[in-house]
Amino acid sequence: MIKSRQIGASVNRLEGQLKVTGKATYAGEYNEKELVHGYIINSTIPKGKMIAIDETAARKVDGVIEIFTYKNRPRLPWFDIMYADMDAPPGSPFKPLLDNNIKYNGQPIALVVADSFETARFAASLVNIVYEETTSSTNLKENLAHAKNPKKGLATLIKPLPPKPKGDFEKAFIESEVTSSQEFYHSAEHHNPIELFATTTIYEGDGKLTVYDKTQGTSNCQIYIANVFGLRYSNVQVISPFVGGGFGSGLRPQYQLFLCVMASLELKMNVRVSMDRKQMFTFGHRPQTLQTVNFGADATGKLTALSHKAIAETSRFEDYTEVVVNWGNMLYPVKNTLLDYQLVPLDLYTPLDMRAPGGSTGLHAIETAMDELAYKLKIDPLEFRLINYAERDDSSDKPFSSKELKECYLQGAKKFGWDERNPAVRDTRRGNRLVGQGMSSGIWDVIALPAKASAKLTKKGNLIIKSAVTDIGTGTYTIMSQIAADELGVDVNDIIFRYGDSKMPLSPIQGGSYTTGVVGSAIKAACIALKKKLFKKAKLIPQSPFISIRLKEVIFENKRIVLKKNPSVFTNFDEILHNYRKPIKVSKSNIPNVLTLKKYTRAAHSAAFVEVEVDEQLGTINVTRAVTAVAAGTIINPKTARSQILGGMTWGISKALREESLLDTNLGKFINANLGEYHIPVHADIHELDVIFVEEKDEIINELGSKGIGEIGLASMAPAIANAIFHATGKRINNFPIHFDELL
């Protein structure tokens, strides 16, 4: 019997039972004995100094243990490098409670620790802080004169700045047969995972800590804590098996981690610090971004000129960048390009990667311009994209490692029924509603990073795979188990995957859609190494049938090594263990082959087809149905992968039509800091969504040929919605989110 492949199987989430019964434990839920609670106080001005802090009333409250401010913050390193986490942009990282300076509204300025959550919260309300406010500026549009080129650093290696101009854009644009010139504004957004950021620190004594943290990187937080607080790496264990959503917010250690660990070390106590929802609006966010595109095409529909410029906000202390303008020329060949990306520093916290950072912003502009050109040329929008299809990445003049975007277009269009679309604008009605159909391309790059994993056959015969990686709801736990099971030829339930723990082999932070490829490849490599070692040990068994047999002549199946040409010849894992008398363990790193990878452009692609209905009199918008076709290499688990794409599509609906952080630039703060007024979609907003995975083989990107799918579902969805709204109404609304009243 040949074991069926585990890769490609629609396995239910392995932790499903824990999640539906409430037994999955998140960072703020470890109810250790003698736990005390910290409540954070945030600044209420955007810029200036604290000139007095009155703690008298708060300290009188029964149950208050300590109040930490800059005045009694322990002596800690002040230099930037110690605070720089794996995702720190170039600049000087924020250091909580460092001094009396206020750099942004909502800055954490004190921690009240008490014997109960309620007492800490109450006492925090009694701390009176006197400020001396200085002039601040938080208005992007009014500060464009201060736009500057971003600083380069580690972050810009992974998220490259725009390539240099090509050809002669100005001339080509003027000579173009048709042009599209548009401006765009995107509001800031906050990640708002439903789980609040929380840390529970267990004080183990002797400089040792166990830290349960909400994070997308256990290793990242371990290193951060050890560096900042001068602890040995081995004495800091960061654990987060369940993470209630990340979307980028957990890529950097957030300030509750610092405050909780600080309090625990100072008080020598077990401490929990949890943010409230309002505080979830006081750290990184998707930056407000202004964009300008100028696209030109000739009469045959070929693009001739492409300019894409973006100006985004950053903080005064770090240069956060994302890839906004690079995608157009990766999707479509053009001889003449002009790309620019600049930053305006404002008195706000540093922005932070948020699902499909940059891509979901830039593609809106690119795909809107493409849509407009198609209408001007009287070419079907899909046909127009096929005319401009890139067989090779024109922006870097490299081949794609694989690219099945054309199949995405064709299969997506077929399933959606694009052929039956009425090409006329504002010409299809259903009752009171205008109907529109729009489409968009999507692209997201494949990032390669090193990672480690270990594999072990225990003396009891269990297969244990380890990685520090988290599972933020992406299905990582399940698919990593599948990858290991597939390689070792066992059932997925035979694998014990230990993860979400910094004691496990080092993993990069979980983001950028690279976890499957990066960590999955390390696990695959570890499993291959384990097989080699097992085979070697099998040969040591007296009268082993494999003495003169080579590894490629056997298969691993159901915890046995079986001779391919004669399956009746095999050795059980148990026999190997019985003979060897020790567990068999390997550890393996996956180091990307940079020389090979460099020769290719590596990207996942998608095509979204969307139908909207817009109430003709009232403007109300519904995305009635949508199909997204995705080419992302090997799909490890179609069930969880489909959910990832559905999630991305739902985020697309949210980005195009719902969520925005309202920044009051007079007060210098985000003012709708709650889930009642920060509108993410409700069930009543979501209608028919469909997902197609197009077959795509990629032997370049990584061992698994898997590209990652966290962002790609969002990338194409939001622009397709905007294009569908144009088709329905004849109106181009280029500000996201689109408010329905703009269609009145």
Partner 1 sequence: MNHKSKITLNINQKKYILELLPWVTLLDTLRDHLDLTGTKKGCDHGQCGACTVLCDGKRILSCLTLSVMKDNSMITTIEGVAQGEKLHPLQKEFIEMDAFQCGYCTPGQICSALGMIDENRAYTLEEVKESMSGNLCRCGANSNIIDAIMNYKNQDHE
Partner 2 sequence: MNSFGYKKAASIEDTLEIKYQNKTSSFIAGGTNLLDLWKYNLQNPSELIDLNGLEDLKRISRQQNGTIRLGALATNAYTAYHPEIENYYPILSRAILSGASAQIRNSATNGGNLLQKTRCYYFYDMASPCNKRNPGSGCPAIEGKNRMHAILGHSKQCIAVFPSDMCIALAALEAKVEVFSTTGTRIINFDDFHRLPGDQPELDNTLKSDELITAIILPQRGFSTNYSYLKLRDRNSYAFALVSVATCLELENKKIKEINIALGGVSHKPWRNKQAEASLIGELPTKENFEKIASLLLKEAKGFEYNKFKIELAKRAIVRNCLMALDPSSQRPGAQPSL
Enumerate binding residues for partner 1 (CB under 8 A): 12-13, 15-26, 28-29, 31, 116-118, 122, 192-196, 242-247, 274, 276-277, 472-475, 639-640, 642-644, 646-651, 654, 674-676, 680-686, 688-689
Near partner 2 by CB under 8 A, which window of 68-76, 159-167, 673-681, 696-704?
673-681
Are the CB atoms for 650 and 662 separated by under 8 Å?
A: no
Are the CB atoms for 114 and 61 separated by under 8 Å?
A: yes
Near partner 2 by CB under 8 A, which window of 151-159, 322-330, 554-562, 681-689?
681-689
Stretch 419-438 residues interacting with partner 2 (CB under 8 A): 430-433
Closest CB 639 distance from partner 1, rounded Å: 5
Q: How far apart are CA 655 and CA 680, in angstroms?
A: 9
Q: Which residues pair with 611 in a beta bridge?
A: 437, 625
Q: What is the DSSP letter of 661?
A: B
Which residue number, 633 or 668, has a Cβ lying nearer to partner 2?
668
> What are 185's two structure tokens?
């504004």
Q: Which residues pair with 338 in a beta bridge?
A: 307
648 interface partner picked from partner 1, partner 2, none, CB below 5 to 8 A per type: partner 1
Q: How far apart are CA 47 and CA 229, in angstroms?
A: 27
* 57 binding partner 2? (CB under 8 A): no
Closest CB 44 distance from partner 2, rounded Å: 3
51 interface partner picked from partner 1, partner 2, none, CB below 5 to 8 A per type: none
* 302 binding partner 2? (CB under 8 A): no
Q: Which residue has the tokens 């560096």?
A: 227
485 CA to centre of own chain: 26
* 615 binding partner 2? (CB under 8 A): yes
Strands (E), 502-635: 554-557, 560-563, 570-572, 584-590, 603-615, 621-631
Q: Which of 1, 424, 682, 697 binds partner 2 (CB under 8 A)?
A: 682
The number of residues that bind partner 2 (CB under 8 A) is 39
Residue 349: which of 682, 705, 95, 657 has the closest Cα?
A: 95
Closest CB 681 distance from partner 1, rounded Å: 7
Q: Which of 165, 450, 583, 619 binds partner 2 (CB under 8 A)?
A: 619
Contacts of 237 (CB under 8 A, 6+ apart): 209, 210, 211, 222, 501, 502, 503
23 interface partner picked from partner 1, partner 2, none, CB below 5 to 8 A per type: partner 1
Q: Name the amino acid, one letter, at 244.
A: G
* 617 binding partner 2? (CB under 8 A): yes
> x/- contact string, 630-669, with partner 2 (CB under 8 A)?
----------------------------x---x-x-xx-x
Cα–Cα distance list, 548 to 294, 408, 425, 488, 536 (Å): 68, 48, 73, 22, 11
Q: Which residue has the tokens 């090409």?
A: 423
* 135 binding partner 2? (CB under 8 A): no
* 75 binding partner 2? (CB under 8 A): no
292 interface partner picked from partner 2, partner 1, none, CB below 5 to 8 A per type: none
Near partner 2 by CB under 8 A, which window of 218-226, 411-419, 444-452, 736-744?
736-744
* 739 binding partner 2? (CB under 8 A): yes
Closest CB 64 distance from partner 1, rounded Å: 15
* 406 binding partner 2? (CB under 8 A): no
Longest dimension (CA), the chain: 85
Closest CB 352 distance from partner 1, rounded Å: 16
* 572 binding partner 2? (CB under 8 A): no
Contacts of 164 (CB under 8 A, 6+ apart): none
Where do runs of H (alpha helix) occur along 511-604?
515-539, 573-580, 594-597
Are the CB atoms for 354 and 286 separated by under 8 Å?
A: yes
* 673 binding partner 2? (CB under 8 A): yes
Near partner 2 by CB under 8 A, which window of 11-19, 75-83, 117-125, 349-357?
117-125
Helix, strand, coil tally for the chain in percent (to 5): 30, 25, 45
Which residue number, 663 or 691, has a Cβ lying nearer to partner 1?
691
Check the CA dihedral 262-263-268-273 and report its sign: negative
Residue 463: which of 523, 396, 391, 540 has the closest Cα?
A: 523
Contacts of 308 (CB under 8 A, 6+ apart): 291, 292, 293, 324, 325, 328, 338, 339, 340, 362, 365, 366
650 interface partner picked from partner 2, partner 1, none, CB below 5 to 8 A per type: partner 1
Which residue number, 227 or 254, has a Cβ lying nearer to partner 1?
254
44 interface partner picked from partner 1, partner 2, none, CB below 5 to 8 A per type: partner 2
622 interface partner picked from partner 1, partner 2, none, CB below 5 to 8 A per type: partner 2
Q: At what angle do helices 359-377 and 638-657 cross, to 10 degrees?
A: 70
Closest CB 195 distance from partner 1, rounded Å: 4
Are the CB atoms for 506 and 451 separated by under 8 Å?
A: yes
* 676 binding partner 2? (CB under 8 A): yes
Q: Provide the residue count of the chain.
A: 744
Are the CB atoms for 122 and 61 separated by under 8 Å?
A: yes
Rounded CA Rg of the chain = 27
Closest CB 642 distance from partner 1, rounded Å: 7
* 128 binding partner 2? (CB under 8 A): no
70 interface partner picked from partner 2, partner 1, none, CB below 5 to 8 A per type: none
Are the CB atoms for 509 and 251 separated by under 8 Å?
A: yes
* 142 binding partner 2? (CB under 8 A): no
Closest CB 349 distance from partner 2, rounded Å: 16
Closest CB 627 distance from partner 1, rounded Å: 13
Near partner 2 by CB under 8 A, which window of 119-127, 403-411, 494-502, 720-728?
119-127
Straight-line distance from the first to the last Cα atom of the chain, in angstroms, rounded to the nearest whole number? 65
* 188 binding partner 2? (CB under 8 A): no
Near partner 2 by CB under 8 A, which window of 264-272, 349-357, 524-532, 671-679?
671-679
Check the CA dihedral 632-374-392-711 and report its sign: negative
Closest CB 286 distance from partner 1, rounded Å: 14
Which strands make up the sheet holding 336-345, listed edge to edge? Answer: 336-345, 303-314, 289-297, 178-186, 735-736
158 interface partner picked from partner 2, partner 1, none, CB below 5 to 8 A per type: none
Near partner 2 by CB under 8 A, which window of 68-76, 283-291, 573-581, 678-686?
678-686
* 684 binding partner 2? (CB under 8 A): yes
Residue 716: which of 355, 367, 382 has the closest Cα?
A: 367
> What are 628's two structure tokens?
């997204």
Number of helices (H), then strands (E), belonging to the chain: the values are 18, 31
Q: Which of 685, 690, 731, 735 binds partner 2 (CB under 8 A)?
A: 685
Residues that bind partner 2 (CB under 8 A): 44-45, 118, 121-122, 125, 430-433, 615, 617-620, 622, 658, 662, 664, 666-667, 669, 671-674, 676-677, 679, 681-685, 739-742, 744
